[in-house]
Amino acid sequence: MLKKALLITVLMIFASGSSVLAEIPKTINYQGVLTDAEGNAVVDGIYEITTSLYDNLEGGTPLWQETQSVNVFKSTFSAILGVGTALELPFDNQYYLGISIEGGAELMPRVSLSALPYSMCSNNADMLDGLHSDAFSDTAHNHDEIYFGQEELSTAGTVNDTGNPVDWTKLKNVPSGFSDGIDNAGLTAVYSLDAVDGDPTDAVYVDESGNTGVGTSTPAGKLDINGDIVVTNSLGQIRSRIFVHSEDAGLINTYGPNGNLNCAISAMVDYENSGYLSVCDADGNKQAAMYVEGSSGMGVITADIKSFRVSNPSLPGTDICYACIEGPEAAAYIRGTMSLVNGKATVVFPDHFVDVIVLDGMTIQLTPLSAGSKGLAVVEKGIDRVLVQELNGGVGEYEFDYLVTAIRKGHESYQVIKQSLIR
C-alpha cells in the first residue's frame, strides 16, 4: 500500500518568449518520486493520481481538481496540470497542491507552490489598470483621424458622461444646422426632418416604436400620412391618388395613360359613410358602379348593360353574353308548367318565392298548350298560390305554362329617378 509521495518541485510554465502579448498556456509541469511507506521504489506501471489546488494549507474546498493516469518508471513520474481540467485560477494568491494516489486519502502536508507558477500573472504585464498600452496616447504628437489632434481644441474643456454633457460652446467649426441638441435633457428615440425652409417642422417624423409620420408627429401606424398621396409616372403625370374628400371621406382614384379617370373608390353623395366603387370609360365617364344606397342601405350594382358571359361551345374563341331584362321596379318571378284536371289547377309557390314577395301588384301569365282550349283564367290569387280554371265551364285536361311576377318585399317604393352619382 502506498503511504506517501515525495514531490520534486520542478514546476514550470511554458510560454512563448516571442511576444509579450502572446497567449500564455495555463498549465503547470511537475515531477514526483513515488515510494512505499518504507521508502522503497514502487513497481513500475500506470497509476491514477488526483491533484488539487487550495488556498489553505489544511482543510478547505479545492479551487481546482484533476485526475489523470501517469506512467511510473523507477519510482519517477511526471505530468502536466491543467491538461484535463483547465486552470482558470488568477495565480495572484498563495496556493497549495494536494495529491492522492489511486483514490486514497490526500497525502500530507500539502505542497506550497513556489513563485514560478505565479508567472501566469505576466499575462497582463503589458497592461495598466487592465488596459493594453495601445489604449493610451502620447500627447506630444497628433494621432490618426479617430483622435483629437493637439491643435484641434480651440478651448480647453472636459468631455464627460451624460451626467455632465459636452459644452458645445467649447467646440469650433460646428456647421450651421448641426443637430447638437445643446444638452441631453429629455432625449428620446425620436427622429424628424423639417421642410427645406424650416416650415413646417417635423415634415417626416419617426417615433420610438418605428412608426413613421408624414405631415404628422403622432403616427398611428408604420406609415401615417396626413394629406394626399400621389403616384406619378416617369414624366411626373399623376396615375394614382389617395386623398380625403372635403366631406372627410377617403377616396382612391386611378388614371389611364390619357390622364382620364379609370376607377374610383369613394362614398355616396350626401351619404359619406356609404361606400361607392365606379369604373369609367376612356373619357373618364362612369359607366358601371357598385355602391350602398345611403337612404335605404340597399346594395346596388349599376351598368348600361348587366349580363352574364360564358364561353361559346359552338364557336371557340367567342363568348355568349346575355343582357338582363330591365324595368321600373324591383321584382321577382317564377315560371313553370302545370296540368288541368277536370278544367282546374292550383299553382303552389315555393317557400323561397313567398318569402321575398308581396301580394299587391302580383301578375300571372297563362299559356294553354292545347288547341282545343277554351281559354284560362286566374279565379283566385293568394300570397302562396293561384287557382286556374278553364273558361266557359270547360273541363279540359291538358298542360299550360305559367309566369308569376311580383314586387320584392321591402322594395315596394322603388324610385326610378335618383340623384346623380357623379361627385
* Beta strands 4-12 and 28-35, pairing class: antiparallel
Instruction: Let me know whether 335 and 382 are in one domain.
Output: yes
In a domain, 150, yes or no: no
Instruction: Let me know whether 31 and 115 are in one domain.
Output: yes
pLDDT one digit per residue (tens) for the chain, 423 residues: 444 444 433 333 333 333 344 466 778 887 888 787 788 888 899 989 999 999 888 888 998 999 989 998 888 888 888 888 888 888 778 888 888 888 888 888 888 877 555 555 565 666 666 666 666 656 666 655 555 555 655 556 555 555 656 666 666 666 665 555 554 444 456 777 887 787 887 788 888 888 898 888 888 898 988 888 999 999 999 999 998 877 788 889 999 999 999 999 988 777 788 888 989 999 999 888 888 887 778 888 888 888 889 999 999 999 999 998 889 999 999 999 999 999 999 999 999 999 999 999 999 999 999 999 999 999 999 999 999 999 999 999 999 999 999 999 999 998 899 877 655
**The predicted structure's pLDDT at residue 303:** 84
Q: Which of 107, 128, 149 is the last residue of a domain?
A: 128
**The predicted structure's pLDDT at residue 157:** 58
289: β partners:
278, 302
Residues 6+ apart with CB under 8 A from 273: 249, 267, 294
* Beta strands 212-214 and 223-225, pairing class: parallel
Residues 6+ apart with CB under 8 A from 120: 13, 24, 26, 90, 91
* Beta strands 331-339 and 28-35, pairing class: unpaired
3-class DSSP state of 382: coil
In a domain, 230, yes or no: no
Residues 6+ apart with CB under 8 A from 103: 48, 50
Tell me the CATH number at 32: 2.60.40
Q: Which of 95, 128, 161 is the last residue of a domain?
A: 128
How far apart are alpha carbons 118 and 167 in whole angstroms? Answer: 48
Instruction: Let me know whether 310 and 399 are in one domain.
Output: no
What's the grid cell of residue 235? 414624366
Instruction: Let me know whether 324 and 371 are in one domain.
Output: no
Instruction: Let me know whether 14 and 114 are in one domain.
Output: yes
Instruction: Let me know whether 9 and 124 are in one domain.
Output: yes
How far apart are alpha carbons 190 and 204 in whole angstroms? Answer: 11
For residue range 119-160, what is the model confidence (pLDDT) as tens digits? Answer: 555 656 666 666 666 666 566 666 555 555 556 555 565 555
| Cα three-residue angle 128-133-136, rounded to 5 degrees | 95
Please give the residue range of the domain that contains residue 382: 331-407
**The predicted structure's pLDDT at residue 406:** 97
In a domain, 172, yes or no: no
Instruction: Let me know whether 323 and 389 are in one domain.
Output: no
- In 10 A of CB 81, how many CB atoms? 21
In a domain, 137, yes or no: no
Instruction: Let me know whether 48 and 121 are in one domain.
Output: yes
Distances (CA, A) of 39 to 35, 148, 189, 286, 395: 5, 71, 77, 116, 143
How far apart are alpha carbons 301 and 289 in whole angstroms? Answer: 6
In a domain, 153, yes or no: no
For residue range 237-290, what is the model confidence (pLDDT) as tens digits? Answer: 999 999 887 778 888 999 999 999 999 998 877 778 888 898 999 999 988 888
| Total residues belonging to the chain | 423
Instruction: Let me know whether 37 and 110 are in one domain.
Output: yes
**The predicted structure's pLDDT at residue 170:** 65
How far apart are alpha carbons 239 and 275 in whole angstroms? Answer: 22
In a domain, 19, yes or no: yes
Q: Which of 96, 128, 160 is the last residue of a domain?
A: 128
Tally of structural domains, the chain: 3
How far apart are alpha carbons 216 and 227 in whole angstroms? Answer: 9
In a domain, 186, yes or no: no
In a domain, 212, yes or no: no
* Beta strands 204-206 and 212-214, pairing class: antiparallel
Instruction: Let me know whether 254 and 324 are in one domain.
Output: yes
Instruction: Let me know whether 342 and 320 are in one domain.
Output: no
Q: Label each residue of 249-272 as H, E or C.
A: CEEEEEECCCCCEEEEEEEECCEE
Instruction: Let me know whether 312 and 347 are in one domain.
Output: no
Distances (CA, A) of 106 to 53, 60, 110, 114: 12, 13, 8, 20
**The predicted structure's pLDDT at residue 213:** 85
Q: Where are the beta strands (DSSP E) in 197-306?
A: 204-206, 212-214, 223-225, 229-232, 238-244, 250-255, 261-268, 271-280, 286-292, 299-303
**The predicted structure's pLDDT at residue 4:** 47
